[in-house]
Structure 1
Amino acid sequence: MKRCGVIAFASVFAVAAGCSHGQVKSDERTVSVFSPAPELLDPTRFDQYSAFAPDGREYYLSVADADWNYRGILRSVRRNGLWSSFEPLPIVWGPGKDGGEPFISRDGRHLYFVSARAGGRSDETGMAGSAGIVQSGETDIYVADRLGAEWGEPRRLPPPLNSRSSEWHPTLADDGTIYFASERGRHDGKADIYCARPTATGDYTHIERLGAPVNLDISNDSDPFIAADGSYLVFHSDRPGGFGEHDLYVAFRSTDGGWSEPENLGPEVNSTGWEMGPSVTRDGRLLLFTRRAAIKTDQPSRVYAVSATVIERARP
């Protein structure tokens, strides 16, 4: 895999602002370690998933321990053209506040993340379903609302979106449709991708499992990222024919509302290890994702970037 060092942008959303540490050209296929600024890299840190605020002025990074358990979310803020040092996000950091996998709604008003904090399956609390079954999971999806410069107290999304199984990696299209991964309905430890469209009141009352060819009974299909207009879905999978443990794939919305056969993003993006946690910057320029050598490893993971044109090149 070719590399060109660290990609670091003064602003990934303002090309005119320039780039003092390298720039991904539209025809460039090189994958490189990504950071908004070189000083924010830490070679000992287990980086998980990343997200920019829609205006490009805040960068969120969830980090893990060596066993891939959530530690929390760090935030860097761009002021006067410079990125601040990472600071823990108070609502998702510290004892009882573990969490990760941030996604910020494209209007900038809501921060979604995943957590195994109190209220999950481990302590058997939560909302009871119609059959008296506790509707909470080991990892659940939470949301916090923007209150000025900070985020309000998180709240756990109610059933049926969260369940007694684990849910993770939320991502939303501009129309409010949420996509996420869940182990519900599986007894083999694998996951499927689900979606839910909001009602007129903004609630998610009907959950839909994506069918084939996105979800396959033989594979672990997870970590969805939905395009703003819902036109494509990037996700990771261990289905046969890949280059490593888990590869990134893209499926495109078809004219009948279904999905095209997923296309592997190829050896430019995928390695012999795990590629996961995809996201595309709001300006559509970069595909960000996480690479981990193996699920059990003491080798720190990293966030990588490649030109998002790799997605269009996979279009049938």
Structure 2
Amino acid sequence: MERICLFVILLLCALTMSSKSYSQDQFPALKGPYLGQTPPGLTAMPFAPGIVNTAEWGDAGGFSADMNEFFVSRWKHSRDAKAPESVIFRRAGEQWQKIALPAGESRPFYAPDGKTLHYGARYKQRTADGWSELKSLGPAFEALQIMSLAASAKGTLVLDERGSSAGDGILRYSKLVSGKWQDPKPLPKQVNTGIWNGHPYIAPDESYLIWDGERAGGFGEADLYISFRQKDGSWGEAINLGDKINTAAEERGAQVTPDGKFIFFNRMAPHTNGKPGFQSDLYWIDAQIIEELKLKASSF
């Protein structure tokens, strides 16, 4: 239970890396897409070391639907760590500006069209005057301890739940029908096999689903898996994302950038410098790996 609670802010996982922290007056100029970072190829790389990833905290993040904001969630690795600083990087022209957020402000899960922000069992909608007040998805959602939620362009939601200390939480989906989300139903056994299944991501066109969990044959305690939509509308067998992403550490919380070009995920591993606990950082890799796995799956 303790382990999965680390991920409730959203994503986790990571290898220890040397990351420099910057004071406000030292903060580097960030210009261009992806916070000015050089895109990776088919080798997963830490995202924005010392800027997004820090040595002090666990770090996770993601882009808004228009990719003009990058929300960074942070949490303590240990009780004696200083209070974490969650921030938003906001793009103005070619320049990114760092904006500190009030303590406790949670990161939203963006709908692909940018018109809905999801916060677990609640959501906001864009109006002519800004964002609406928080609304409830309904009693069936409120009854679940939702950690992560993602939406397709059709409004279909996929979500997880904290579950018990045995890791028995399952992934669910909910379809948007006549403007109302149906009560969430369990995804099939192709997805809900093993333990600690969580942090689902659904493609905007619903062609694939990515999530993390522990099951036989994996690389470590938690790996990332993908299932492709079949011609009959069902979900195909889970495919491990492979050693380009998964390691003996824990990989969790995958998401694909709104432009479809990169996969972001978190990797968590024990400190290698003798410190107790774990270090968790955000990684990214070219999303071409999804097409490679799709071609491989179709050849079976």
1:52 aligns with 2:66: no
In structure 2, the residue matched to 1:188 is 166
Q: Note the residue ranges of structure 2 that are not aligned, 5 or more in a row.
A: 1-14, 21-29, 271-275
In structure 2, the residue matched to 1:63 is 74
1:152-191 residue CA offsets vs partner (Å, 9 max, x unmatched): 543443221231x42221000000000001256x783422
Write the distance in 1 (CA, Å) between the matches of 2:158 and 2:140: 13
For normalisation by structure 2, the TM-score amounts to 0.77
Q: Residues 287 and 305 of structure 1 are in contact (CA less than 8 Å); yes or no, is this contact kept in structure 2?
A: yes
Offset at residue 40 of structure 1 (A): 4.3
* Percent of paired sites with the same residue: 25
Return the structure number with greater relative CO, CA threshold 8 A, min gap 6: 2
Q: Residues 110 and 146 of structure 1 are in contact (CA less than 8 Å); yes or no, is this contact kept in structure 2?
A: yes
> SS of the residue aligned with 2:289?
helix
Offset at residue 301 of structure 1 (A): 1.2
Please tell me the residue identity of whatever aligns with 1:45: W
> SS of the residue aligned with 1:182?
coil
Summarize the Cα distance change of 1:41–1:151 in structure 2 as closer, same or farther, 3 Å threshold.
farther
1:241 aligns with 2:222: no
1:9-63 residue CA offsets vs partner (Å, 9 max, x unmatched): 7214xxxxxx964223xxx31111113x864443212113x22112211111222
Write the distance in 2 (CA, Å) between the matches of 1:40 and 1:256: 41
Q: Note the residue ranges of structure 1 that are not aligned, 5 or more in a row.
A: 13-18, 115-140
Summarize the Cα distance change of 1:42–1:159 in structure 2 as closer, same or farther, 3 Å threshold.
same
Summarize the Cα distance change of 1:257–1:23 in structure 2 as closer, same or farther, 3 Å threshold.
same
Alpha-carbon RMSD across the aligned residues, in angstroms, is: 3.2
Q: Residues 284 and 308 of structure 1 are in contact (CA less than 8 Å); yes or no, is this contact kept in structure 2?
A: yes
In structure 1, the residue matched to 2:138 is 158
Summarize the Cα distance change of 1:109–1:168 in structure 2 as closer, same or farther, 3 Å threshold.
same
In structure 1, the residue matched to 2:94 is 81
Please tell me the residue identity of whatever aligns with 2:210: V
1:105-145 residue CA offsets vs partner (Å, 9 max, x unmatched): 1111222234xxxxxxxxxxxxxxxxxxxxxxxxxx33233
1:228 aligns with 2:204: yes
In structure 1, the residue matched to 2:122 is 142
Q: Residues 263 and 286 of structure 2 are in contact (CA less than 8 Å); yes or no, is this contact kept in structure 1?
A: yes
Write the distance in 1 (CA, Å) between the matches of 2:133 and 2:84: 18
In structure 2, the residue matched to 1:307 is 286
For normalisation by structure 1, the TM-score amounts to 0.73
